[in-house]
A and B are shown apart, each in its own frame.
Chain A
Amino acid sequence: MKSWGPPLLLLILAVVLYFALPFNLAFLTRILIMVVLVLSLDLVLGYAGIATLGQAALYGAGAYAAGLFAIHVWADPVAGLFVGAGAGAMLAFVSGLVLMRTQGLTLIMLSIAVASICLEIANKARDVTGGADGLRGIRMEPVLGLFAFDFIGKTGFWYALAVVAVVFVVLALLSRAPLGLSLRGIHESPERMAAIGVSVYWRRITAYTIGGGIAGIAGALSAQITQLVSLESFSFTLSAEALIMLILGGTGRLYGAVLGTLIFMFVHHWAAANDPFNWLFVIGALVLAVVFFLPKGVISAPPAITRLLKGGRHAGS
């Protein structure tokens, strides 16, 4: 029961933020969308140990799929989420067949390449995607036929929060299921897992595909709520920022991913609003500080502080 405490606290925090910052709903919704993306990265990187810098490829695939589906087929948001998830998962599966055969630096380079290829395809297919002008004209129907998207973004917020909650619960269950445990095992020692008869390659593809589906959901959410998909959704910056958020919060823990995203986005927003000219400095300092003082991310802060308070006495260790 104890493990459900932190996520519940985060849920309450989201509701509190809704009432505390009623004029910033667009920003809060962006945070929620990023949380979904960072959670997908946490599954892939934190649990399965697949070092990727191309998560934006899956996010963008979901965003364009959901956007095009809404324009040409059916503007229902929930159906759009499934389409986005499908597109993300499919791209992850197909690219995963190649990517998961590699390790380390090669894998990182290849994952960046996949995202760049997607970016270039979206740029060239101007008739379909709108190219550099972005995919516009997305008009969503009300969520479940009941809640229309409004100008201030109330519906968008609750819709995104509901999706975050569902994704979180699914991932929490998954991490306790045999698949999650075997992924952890693969992360710790692939050789040993192979030795006890686990097909490491296929398990990694499964994890990457599920992560792709979730990243696709994040992209679909973004397409539906901002009613716009741009080439930026395939950009390297997005992949890199998601990775920074995850490292900031702490990998391998679901609420670490949430916390990292919250902190990064808030500091980013606050710094950019206060000094639109030099705010990048603050972000740099924050990341450096976390990497130096809390190498395991912000979620490792409580134990680190306890250790500091006990001071010097390395009881037994």
Chain B
Amino acid sequence: MNRFISAALLAAISTAVSGAAFGDTIKVGVIAPFSGPFAIYGKQYQEAIETYVAQNGSSAGEHEIEFIYKDVGGPNPDQSRSLAQELLIRDQVDYLAGFTFTPNALAVAPLIEQSQTPTVIFNAATSSINKESDFYLRTSYTLWQVSAPLAEWAYDQGMQTAATTVTDYGPGIDAENAFKAAFEAKGGKVVDAIRMPLSTTDFTPFIQRVRDAAPDAVFTFLPGGPPTFTYTKTYNENGLADAGIKFLGTAETEEVNLQGLGDDAIGLTTAYHYSGDHDSEANAAFKSKLNELFPDAVANWASVGAYDGTHLIYQMVEAAGSDGPAAVQSALGLEWESPRGPVSMDPEARTLVQNVYIREVERDAQTGELVNREQGIIATVGDLGWTQ
């Protein structure tokens, strides 16, 4: 009898153990702002992740995937670091994801290096981040990637002089450098490079300065949200469009804010890697599932960054489970069809190689909504800032 019981016990234990080995749960810690002025990023990420999970199930290969969300509030590297530490030590996560702001992403570099944790950046767009650790993978874009092709395109369109107006912080300066380098390499001239304080609410003096300099185009980089509204309004009110100074931007006309910009936005030209209006099966499937789950959701670059990031995590988990270095190795060179178009993971810079589209804001004849209408692909590039 005793022997029978111990045999049964042994069997039970062995099934339990093997069950654990085959059906284990891989945890992914998502660090993003979920409260305060930047909460929209967290919302976009969460909706995109849930959309991907709804489309592809909650398991990759033999592993269940679980997402743990942590609120970092805003650009706050201290908090980002202690949340990552908590996720790695207490929650025992195998992957980290999220990261809207460059400082937040940079702050976790020593931690992911030490714990060998693959970390998928959904947004933070400064090129240099990926140099800090081999465990960073980025599914958004870099400022060089979109700004440099835009400058080349502008020159090819016959614009020979330009002014740049960027917000005075890391990404803004990256954008300014990228635009200037590419524009001047072509033979164009940047007549004025204006850096605007991060907290600027009145853009009139800067716009006026641009108007006085009378270049062919004004390139701008703004941190998204309210400044974009004020900037485009000031751009129109001061008659820059009528004076023939063309607006060139990147993320300024992103989909969440686009309707709020109103008719002021019509005609704004931007170069970017994702337009909600992108005509493809993958994008249609993504958007319809997103709207089925969240009727009010609007797909923008943050959603598509998180959606592709989730895809990348699924691929890595399937290939390597919780083995960090092997997971990163399996991700390098990976190709897939994203809602933004075909993409692949650059093995060196660990940022996506993707199409950059030139778009113009127009009102869709059918829905009456403003859209970023793609005029064509201007480049298929990886991170141009990697070697800078």
Q: Does B203 contact A (CB under 8 A)?
A: no
**CB–CB B110/A134 < 8 A:** no
- In the complex, which residues of chain A have a beta carbon less than 8 angstroms from the beta carbon of B75? 132, 230-232
Q: Does A288 contact B (CB under 8 A)?
A: no
**CB–CB A232/B82 < 8 A:** no
CA distance A153 to B86 in the complex (A): 11
- In the complex, which residues of chain B have a beta carbon less than 8 angstroms from the beta carbon of A273? 70
Determine how close the nearest CB of chain A comes to the CB of B91; give it in whole angstroms.
8
Interface SS majority for chain A: helix
Q: Does B114 contact A (CB under 8 A)?
A: yes
**Chain A interface: which of B100-108, B209-217, B314-322?**
B100-108
Question: B53-95 vs A: 1/0 string, CB under 8 Å?
Answer: 0000000000000000111000111110110011001100000
**CB–CB B170/A133 < 8 A:** yes
- In the complex, which residues of chain A have a beta carbon less than 8 angstroms from the beta carbon of B78? 30, 222, 226, 228, 230, 232-233
**CB–CB B69/A228 < 8 A:** no
**CB–CB B169/A132 < 8 A:** yes
- In the complex, which residues of chain A have a beta carbon less than 8 angstroms from the beta carbon of B76? 230, 232
**CB–CB B110/A227 < 8 A:** yes
Determine how close the nearest CB of chain B comes to the CB of A134; give it in whole angstroms.
5
**CB–CB A228/B86 < 8 A:** no
- In the complex, which residues of chain B have a beta carbon less than 8 angstroms from the beta carbon of A227? 110
**CB–CB A151/B115 < 8 A:** yes
Q: Does A142 contact B (CB under 8 A)?
A: no
**Chain B interface: which of A6-14, A21-29, A40-48, A210-218?**
A21-29
Q: Does B188 contact A (CB under 8 A)?
A: no
CA distance A131 to B128 in the complex (A): 14
Determine how close the nearest CB of chain A comes to the CB of B205; give it in whole angstroms.
18
CA distance A25 to B39 in the complex (A): 27
**CB–CB A230/B169 < 8 A:** no
Q: Does B286 contact A (CB under 8 A)?
A: no
**CB–CB B169/A280 < 8 A:** no
CA distance A123 to B70 in the complex (A): 27
- In the complex, which residues of chain A have a beta carbon less than 8 angstroms from the beta carbon of B115? 151
Q: Does A277 contact B (CB under 8 A)?
A: yes
Q: Does A136 contact B (CB under 8 A)?
A: yes
Known contacts: A132-B169, A280-B35. The answer to whether A228 contacts B82 by CB under 8 A is no
CA distance A232 to B78 in the complex (A): 8
Q: Does A290 contact B (CB under 8 A)?
A: no
- In the complex, which residues of chain A have a beta carbon less than 8 angstroms from the beta carbon of B198? 123, 132
Determine how close the nearest CB of chain A comes to the CB of B318; give it in whole angstroms.
27
- In the complex, which residues of chain A have a beta carbon less than 8 angstroms from the beta carbon of B102? 132-133
Question: A150-177 vs B: 1/0 string, CB under 8 Å?
Answer: 0111000000000000000000000000
Name the residue on B nearest A277 (C-beta): B34
CA distance A273 to B69 in the complex (A): 8
Q: Does B42 contact A (CB under 8 A)?
A: yes
CA distance A272 to B32 in the complex (A): 12
Kindly name the residue among B85, B110, B168, B169 whose own CB sees the greatest number of chain A CB atoms within 10 A. Answer: B85
Q: Does A276 contact B (CB under 8 A)?
A: yes
Name the residue on B nearest A136 (C-beta): B106
Determine how close the nearest CB of chain A comes to the CB of B266; give it in whole angstroms.
33
CA distance A273 to B79 in the complex (A): 13
Which of A263-314 touch B at CB < 8 Å? 272-273, 276-280
CA distance A30 to B198 in the complex (A): 28
- In the complex, which residues of chain B have a beta carbon less than 8 angstroms from the beta carbon of A230? 75-78, 103, 107
Kindly name the residue among A134, A233, A277 whose own CB sees the greatest number of chain B CB atoms within 10 A. Answer: A134
- In the complex, which residues of chain A have a beta carbon less than 8 angstroms from the beta carbon of B106? 133-134, 136
**CB–CB A27/B82 < 8 A:** yes
Known contacts: A132-B170, A228-B81. The answer to whether A277 contacts B107 by CB under 8 A is no
CA distance A152 to B78 in the complex (A): 16
**CB–CB B169/A131 < 8 A:** yes
- Which residue from B86, B90, B170 sits with its C-beta under 8 Å from A131? B170
Question: B246-287 vs A: 1/0 string, CB under 8 Å?
Answer: 000000000000000000000000000000000000000000
Determine how close the nearest CB of chain A comes to the CB of B134; give it in whole angstroms.
17
- In the complex, which residues of chain A have a beta carbon less than 8 angstroms from the beta carbon of B34? 276-277
CA distance A278 to B34 in the complex (A): 8
Determine how close the nearest CB of chain A comes to the CB of B86; give it in whole angstroms.
6
CA distance A5 to B327 in the complex (A): 54
CA distance A280 to B126 in the complex (A): 30
CA distance A226 to B78 in the complex (A): 7
**CB–CB A24/B107 < 8 A:** no
CA distance A181 to B387 in the complex (A): 63
**CB–CB B107/A27 < 8 A:** no
CA distance A186 to B134 in the complex (A): 58
- Which residue from B39, B89, B109 sits with its C-beta under 8 Å from A152? B89
**CB–CB A24/B86 < 8 A:** yes
- Which residue from B42, B71, B89, B103 sits with its C-beta under 8 Å from A133? B103
Name the residue on B nearest A29 (C-beta): B82
Determine how close the nearest CB of chain A comes to the CB of B79; give it in whole angstroms.
8
- Which residue from B35, B39, B77, B126 sits with its C-beta under 8 Å from A134? B77
Name the residue on A nearest B108 (C-beta): A228
CA distance A27 to B89 in the complex (A): 11
| CB-CB nearest 7 A-B residue pairs | A23-B90, A276-B71, A26-B85, A230-B77, A276-B34, A132-B169, A26-B82
20 A-B pairs besides A24-B86, A133-B170, A277-B42 with CB distance below 8 A are A26-B89, A30-B82, A123-B169, A132-B169, A133-B102, A136-B106, A151-B111, A151-B114, A153-B85, A226-B81, A230-B77, A230-B107, A231-B75, A231-B103, A232-B75, A233-B78, A272-B71, A273-B70, A276-B71, A277-B39
What are 16 residue pairs bridging A and B, where the CB atoms are less than 8 Å apart in the complex?
A: A26-B89, A132-B170, A133-B106, A136-B107, A151-B115, A226-B78, A230-B75, A230-B103, A232-B77, A232-B79, A273-B70, A276-B70, A277-B34, A277-B42, A277-B71, A278-B35
